A and B are shown apart, each in its own frame.
Chain A
Amino acid sequence: MKKLLLICLSVFVFRPGHAQDTYPVNGAWDVRPGLYAFTNANIVTSADQTIKGGTLLIKDRVIEAVGTGVSVPKGYVVVDLKGKYIYPGLIDAYTTYGIPESSRQNFTPKRNPNEPSFVSAKRGAYGWNEAIRPEMNAKEVFHVDAAKAEEFKKNGFTTVQSLIHDGIARGTSVVVTLADEADNKVLLSDQAAANYSFSKGTAATNYPSSLMGSIALLRQTYYDAEWYKGQKEEYNISLAEFNRTQAYPQIFEASDVYSILRADKIAKEFGKQYIYKTDGLEFKRVDAVKALNATLIIPLNFPEAFDIENPFDARNISYDQMKSWEMAPSNPAVLAKAGVRFAITSFGLAKPTDFWTNLRTAIDNGLTPAQALRALTQTPAEILGVSDKVGTLTKGKLANLLITSDELFKPENIIYENWVEGRQYVVSKKDITDLRGTYALTGETFNNTILKITGKPGSYEANIERTGADSLKTKGTIVRTGDLLNLYFDLKNKPSGTVRLNGYIASVSPLTLKGSGVLADGNSIGWTATQTAPAPAETKRDTTSKPKPTTGRVIYPFTAYGNAEVPKQETVLFKNATVWTNEKEGVLTGADVLIEGGKIKAVGKNLSAGGAKVVDATGKHITAGIVDEHSHIAIQSGVNEGTQSVTSEVRIADVLDPEDINIYRQLAGGVTTSHLLHGSANAIGGQTQLIKLRWGAMPEQMKFAGSDGFIKFALGENVKQTNWGVVPGTPNLRFPQTRMGVEQVYKDAFTRAKEYKAARAVKGSTTRRDLELDALVEILDNKRFITCHSYVQSEINMLMHVADSMGFKINTFTHILEGYKVADKMKARNIAGSTFSDWWAYKMEVAEAIPYNGKLMHEVGVITGFNSDDAEMARRLNQEAGKAMTYGNLTEEDALKLVTLNPAKMLHIDNKVGSLKAGKDADIVVWSAKPLSIYAVAEKTYVDGVPYWDIEKDAEKRKALKADEGRLIQKMLSAKNKGAATQTATPRRRRLYECESLEEAAFTVADAYNGFQTIGTK
């Protein structure tokens, strides 16, 4: 019965105010006026204004008045806040508060988890892809979670945005207060924002399986939604909702700084402006972020230090991880300094108590309290469109406020109370006297005994000191409940055993505690403690003169071997080298090369230096930079979108990764230009991107300006999934599973493309813009060029015939290991061949791949090159070219062209690179020996006249890197010794991509997905 009563009591929360209620009440209504007056307070109404000695009136849910000279009418509960502070309640702009963990309940689970899901299994007239779910509304699933709300409220939050954190288009979010009331009462905004990301989340639809696929899907969705407005063919809830939710603020969660830029490109394409929830490492590219003129929501989940006492374990930690650890806490300050507008979120913190620790760390690193307050109140209120209700302490706004002991961001501050919509939540009790101080403890058993109470209100610490004959110091435990307290300690002897005291505050001037107690022997005693001195004033930390933590410098890119200063273009004269021109001049000995303004100025003998820096290249060999026709480096989060047979809509251009160390490593092998290809998992893969290896540049600046667009096609075992472990005969296998089917995929795709082109050409056409078919139309129009992964002659022959009959051209067969069998047919169609020097026997279709392939194709007159498809091989493509001499005795000059001029021709850039000729780009390599020899070392590599690789500078960099790693490790160790949280040093290595690299079957673009793989966990 008693229990039942308690439950009833907890249900019968009183209802202040006079607002009407749709909910029935069991029993008598308990409507209270909810009138409060806070007087004599320091009221920080906003980041810009503080009222000293002010009064704030609350009437039910709202602020009735705020200011000085506000008189308190009768009927108000008056709370004197002399010396205390009132702040606007904090707003967390990014949470999943009150949202159920999985929102997949609307989806039909698959019978067999290994079965492919080509389209959505969701019931209803929704879109085809489960990752596009704009129809999801947080308001329909939100439910007050009192326990979770309490965690937020303890940190000072009163209002949060709650969103469904799942999918690419995630639907609408809500803004709610953290009041412990019915769901109906806490919603401030039922549709606050539309949320997005590149992460497909729990969507079971196979597509997309890569970052570029996610980007393509989102881009296509914008087109589909636009088309949907004017069409009458189908009903599609997802597209209708997508259109409807465009009216709200658009919030995009980006997993790293480059993904912010990726998302912003889409935003610009469709006239949108996203607000970005970031990963908190924007300092890496703060200028680029600032240039977006966007508002950010930044987290405080700064990396923890690593356990690296063991030097072997320390090898598991990368330099950028160490640097991120050091620099991430400065991220808020860096953004503030740059003038970037941002809100701060507690999202992603390992535990709620990290919030204040990390926020204060950010302040120690230069964020000002005013900036912090703005980022936690006004800015999120504005972003979420609720600044008329929350964010500042202004008449008419909700009574969401904090009562604190001191300035909010001071380390010694205590949050006493958190008021949400006029409802008090006590964080730590303020209304009673501070017990801290020194007391004389008296009573029959205590002689010469002093009690010192320290710590914080709410968590006092007791220390007992006895002087004289039985002198000792011991710690006790003191617990206070209102005016009552318990105290116990062990004095070892006289009396022995634990002494247990209970008591009360008997007087406040002088502060006197009194009570009785029980000794270990069971005897009762009486005791009194009289305060002899208050707690010493805390030695105030002088935040202004506190040395700002030293942080390392940002390097470009933000990884090992990045440069603090990106190297600059040089004017150089290389004297007296052996110069391999690749032009009709052939190989010149004792010759000079002059570069200026990023171009080759002259090649010849006895050139005059003018103002150029002179490099003595006696004994050295100079060639044009190596061009790799087939590369998969510098690609983030997936090289294959192999979930469909045709994915011409995906673009490598969208996912360049400028932080790939392989850029630097390949410069060290003389590579200057790389053609980054989609993988070979499907017949029509994605659009490729040609880059120059400009180490440290932004993704857009890496692109080879003015080059033609290419696209990857593929034939053979990968396309028909021969080696994927799929079992033929299983229903729903991806078509095709044979070479017969591959032909039909092409015929079908190009038939559709032609029909599409014709339909779009009709005046006033309402044909839906289809990015997949757009790319194919570009091929038909000779505006996009094919490089096709290929092995055996039958299928090569097939594609040539399909191209002939459908009216398109094949630019290049890449890999083309049986090119030697059809070289005459390729030659007749002017198709180039880019092959491996000597690869074979790794699968059935390379059973007759021979190292003479290059020689034979070359001899027949096919433009022939050697490519890498491999980050390792790419850095010694010169040697691969040399193998054309081992196998087939190609001349040394012709062999060099296999990796320079010929791939440049295939890529239509031979007017810019590939040979040493005045006017061409200054992409050159200085070799220690004959360039195709196993003994040749690339000593210098220039791209556009910029010395990105220099073997001597590299040695200096390595030394500096070691020293800085040492510094960071010392710093981490000392942080750990000071009690900082640490994490285990887990091996992590960059994932390398080849043609055949596939993502996991159950691929999700996780939020932290960054192209790294974790190698075990020690």
Chain B
Amino acid sequence: MASAAIAFGQANIMPAKPQSKPVIITGATIHVGNGTVYNNGYIAFDKGKITAVGEGAAPNTAGADVIDAAGKQLYPGFICPVTNLGLVEFEAVKASVDDSETGELNPHVRALIAYNTDSKVIPTVRSNGVLLAQATPDGGVISGQSSVMMLDGWNWEDAAYKTDVAIHLNWPYNRPSFRRAPAPGGMSPAERTQKEIDALEDLFGQAKAYAEIGKPSVKNLRFDAMKGLFNGSKKLFVNANNAKEIIQAINFGKKWGVQVVIVGGVESYLVTDVLKQNNVPVIIRETQTLPDKDEDDVYLPYKLPRMLQDAGVLYGLTGIGFWRQRNLPFEAGQAVGYGLTKEQALSMITLNNAKILGIDKTTGTLEVGKDANLFISKGDALDMITLGVENAYIQGRNIDLDNLHKQLYKRYSEKYGFKAN
């Protein structure tokens, strides 16, 4: 454990310094993230990049910090692809909620800006192995733009890993209502939905035309933000759960020539053909959830990753919320009892998520040349009875794994006179 903070609070949990000398970790069971496992493996990294990885004795340990991780497990840092972590501190306290802008069509707003590196929640998440997260806005029909953040940094500027990766769209659907009938004289939910879709078609049509003009006479912030969708530099993440809506979203992407990623995908298993034909990946929202229908297989959400795996669809997994992201490893592990292999479950929250976010060239697996985003766990990191993150590195920087909870644990262990372990 990096810090032995005694004082209450976390002002003393310091962002890590850049890697100053090579590090070699030996003796670990290394899970590369792409299915490969090195038993008794080694990994070396320098200046933030992985320089060597393999099985057996490490090639050259001279001049490096050598960490003996015999009997331990080593993983690529987990990646949470859709979260409001850093944007919200307490769900119910409005002053601390910064993930949802007012208005329906906000492609121009950027989550990056509200990302709070000093959140007390972030250290509780990274101490379970989640090292990268895409800070994502919510609300409205088009919520805004997301950025992939490193879960360590002085400010959003230096925590940013890849900025403005995607624009997030909540596909219009018949929203749940506790009321039995639409308000008299009001629009039916179906009409309202169609109206929202029409508005999207209109927006995208105009934005695409706008993107073709070199220097528009009148600047439009929304259209400017959307340019990246049409030149391929930004993706369109579409929240859609039902089969019908997933198909609508895919067709929409095809029509406007934008790269669509389905987020949620509760019924994605019903439309795997369409997903595959169009090369559209799915980010499963959560496995630890209830089936949508009483009639569904009671374990359906646990089995969903396996169903997409078998269908050959590229799928990732994100958890829900922000503080709950510390359960991301378990959300992945959940699928293992129901058909996925452990290495596939790992890929779901490392390599697959990296591919979907477009950051797999630099992270997502433990391969030479990629960023040294990794951690050592005392045991299987996907299982709560063995998870125990002991060292974590982001771009080779040695991360402080202390957090508010550990500090309070220590504080009260002392009060009652026993040792926090």
Contact = CB atoms under 8 A, between A and B. Distances in A.
Interface of A: 312, 315, 318-320, 559-561, 661-662, 664-665, 668, 717, 722-723, 820-821, 823-824, 838, 840-844, 846-848, 850-852, 855-856, 859-860, 871-873, 876, 879, 882-883, 885-889, 892, 895, 928-930, 932-937, 954, 958, 961, 965, 987, 989-992, 1000, 1006, 1013-1018
A312 B293 CA distance: 13
Given A841-B322, A843-B92, A1014-B177, 12 more contacts: A312-B243, A820-B408, A824-B416, A838-B327, A840-B323, A841-B91, A848-B404, A879-B330, A886-B388, A889-B421, A1015-B176, A1016-B175
Contacts of B291: 665
A820 B189 contact: no
Contacts of B92: 717, 722-723, 842-844
B90 A844 contact: yes
B1 to A, nearest CB: 13
B294 A560 contact: yes
Interface string B363-405: 0000000000000000000111111100000000000000011
Q: A-B pairs with the 7 shortest C-beta distances?
A: A1016-B174, A843-B92, A1016-B189, A934-B333, A852-B409, A882-B384, A841-B323
A885 B322 contact: no
Contacts of A989: 176, 292-293
Contacts of A1016: 173-177, 189-190, 193
A559 B294 contact: yes
B338 A937 contact: yes
B47 to A, nearest CB: 33
Interface string B124-165: 000010000000000000000000000000000000000000
B144 to A, nearest CB: 22
B297 to A, nearest CB: 6
Main secondary structure of the interface of B (DSSP, over half): loop
B242 A934 contact: no
Contacts of A312: 242-244, 270
A663 to B, nearest CB: 11
Contact of A841 (B90, B174, B330): B90
Given A850-B405, A886-B387, A1013 B176 contact: yes
B409 A888 contact: yes
B180 interface: yes
B386 to A, nearest CB: 8
A820 B190 CA distance: 50
A892 B298 contact: no
A930 B385 contact: yes
A933 B90 contact: no
Contacts of A844: 90, 92-93
15 contacts: A318-B293, A318-B294, A661-B294, A665-B290, A668-B299, A823-B412, A876-B288, A885-B385, A888-B420, A954-B298, A990-B294, A1006-B180, A1014-B180, A1016-B176, A1016-B177
Nearest to A873: B288
Contact of B412 (A318, A840, A856, A1017): A856
Given A843-B92, A888-B421, A1013-B177, A319 B295 contact: yes
Given A871-B290, A987-B174, A1006-B180, A934 B383 contact: yes
Contacts of B409: 850, 852, 855-856, 887-888
A987 B190 CA distance: 12
A1014 B293 CA distance: 13
Given A856-B412, A887-B405, A1016-B177, A842 B90 contact: yes
A1018 B322 contact: no
B272 to A, nearest CB: 15
Contacts of A856: 409, 412-413, 416
A665 B242 contact: no
B383 A848 contact: no
Contact of B384 (A320, A879, A928, A1015): A879
A1000 B295 contact: no
Nearest to A823: B416
Contacts of A838: 326-327
Contacts of B90: 841-844, 846-847
A628 to B, nearest CB: 15
B178 A1013 contact: yes
Contact of B174 (A722, A824, A887, A1017): A1017
A517 B2 CA distance: 108
Contacts of B334: 876, 934
Nearest to B293: A315
A133 to B, nearest CB: 24
Contact of A1018 (B174, B181, B326, B412): B174
B408 A850 contact: yes
B195 to A, nearest CB: 14
B188 interface: yes
A992 B337 CA distance: 26
B384 A886 contact: yes
Interface string B286-308: 00111111110111000000000
Nearest to B271: A312
Which of B177, B267, B412 has the most chain A CB within a 10 Å cutoff? Answer: B412
A958 B322 CA distance: 35
A735 B179 CA distance: 28
A928 B290 CA distance: 21
Nearest to A965: B295
A195 B128 CA distance: 61
A1018 B190 contact: yes
Given A844-B92, A886-B385, A887-B405, A1018 B337 contact: no
A843 B92 CA distance: 5
B190 A1017 contact: yes
B121 interface: yes
A895 B384 CA distance: 12
B103 interface: no
A889 B387 CA distance: 10
Given A859-B418, A932-B384, A1018-B189, A852 B408 contact: yes
A425 to B, nearest CB: 36
A885 B291 CA distance: 28
Nearest to A1009: B180
A723 B93 CA distance: 8
Contacts of A1013: 176-178
Nearest to B291: A665
Interface in B249-301: 267, 270, 288-295, 297-299
B295 A934 contact: no
A317 to B, nearest CB: 9
A1000 B178 contact: yes
A1013 B291 CA distance: 16
B182 interface: yes
A1013 B175 CA distance: 11
B39 to A, nearest CB: 20
A986 to B, nearest CB: 9
B91 A934 contact: no
Contacts of A1015: 174-177
B89 interface: yes
A357 to B, nearest CB: 25
B69 interface: no
A84 B128 CA distance: 86
B89 A841 contact: yes
B336 interface: yes
B384 A1017 contact: no
A932 B421 CA distance: 20
Contacts of A850: 404-405, 408-409
A233 B135 CA distance: 66
Max chain A CB contacts within 10 Å: which of B188, B291, B387? Answer: B387
A961 B180 contact: no
Given A560-B295, A843-B90, A928 B337 contact: yes
Which of B121, B293, B387, B388 neighbours the largest number of chain A CB atoms within 10 Å of its CB? B293
Contacts of A958: 297
Nearest to B189: A1016
A315 to B, nearest CB: 7
Interface in B47-105: 89-93
